[in-house]
């Protein structure tokens, strides 16, 4: 006994269409990381300020994956390299690993241990990732290119 399966004349067309849509989605999703990285360079400042309206943090991100970082009351030049992983900005600097004396100003904006500062990217805002979640009230906002 033979079983005859009916194959619709539309089947090849639908199969090719599904393959094309899948390919387009794959390319689009892989380009999403490039779009985030491309729009990221610029200057960001914390919306939280200290006594004389100085932002707690100013961050300049350059297109060549180098950043500079200025924390209020810290005179040292802080810099390093940046990268993006999905929707997360990662700043790496050897300066972040320096020993901190008690009662000295902070050397990095987040409390993530090691040589990294981590931020969640949400449009023109960067939210500092802390050990216990996001720092939602003192985010960084993009000022200019």
Local confidence pLDDT in tens for the 145 residues of the chain = 555 555 555 555 554 554 455 444 444 444 444 444 568 899 999 998 888 888 888 999 999 999 998 888 888 778 999 999 999 999 999 888 877 677 766 778 888 888 999 999 999 999 999 989 888 888 999 996 5
Tell me the three-class secondary structure of the chain, residue by residue.
Answer: CCCCCCCCCCHHHHHHHHHHHHHHHHHHHHHHHHHHHHHCCEEEEECCECCCCCECEEEEECCCCEEEEEECCCCCCEEEEEEEECCEEEEECHHHHCCCCCCCCCCCCCCCCCCEEEEEEECCEEEEEECCEEEEEEEEEEEEC
Residue-level pLDDT at 30: 41
Residue-level pLDDT at 81: 97
Residue-level pLDDT at 111: 86
What is the residue extent of each domain of the chain? 10-39, 41-144
Indicate the CATH number of 41-144 among 1.10.3470, 2.40.128, 3.40.1710, 3.40.50. 2.40.128
Global pTM? Answer: 0.70
- Which runs of consecutive H residues, i.e. helices, occur in 40-141? none
Residue with tokens 């990268």: 83
């Amino acid at each position: 006994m033979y079983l005859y399966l009916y194959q619709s004349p539309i089947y090849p067309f639908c199969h090719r269409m599904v393959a094309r849509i899948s390919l387009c989605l794959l390319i689009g999703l892989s380009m999403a990381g490039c779009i985030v990285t491309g729009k990221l360079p610029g200057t960001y400042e914390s919306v939280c300020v200290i006594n004389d309206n100085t932002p707690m943090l100013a961050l300049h991100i350059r297109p060549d994956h180098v950043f500079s970082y200025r924390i209020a009351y810290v005179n040292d030049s802080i810099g390093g390299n940046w990268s993006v992983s999905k929707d997360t900005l990662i700043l790496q600097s050897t300066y972040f690993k320096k020993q901190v004396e008690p009662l000295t100003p902070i050397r990095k904006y987040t409390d993530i241990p090691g040589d990294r500062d981590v931020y969640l990217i949400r449009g023109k805002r960067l939210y500092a990732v802390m050990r216990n979640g996001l720092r939602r009230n003192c985010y960084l906002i993009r000022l200019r290119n």
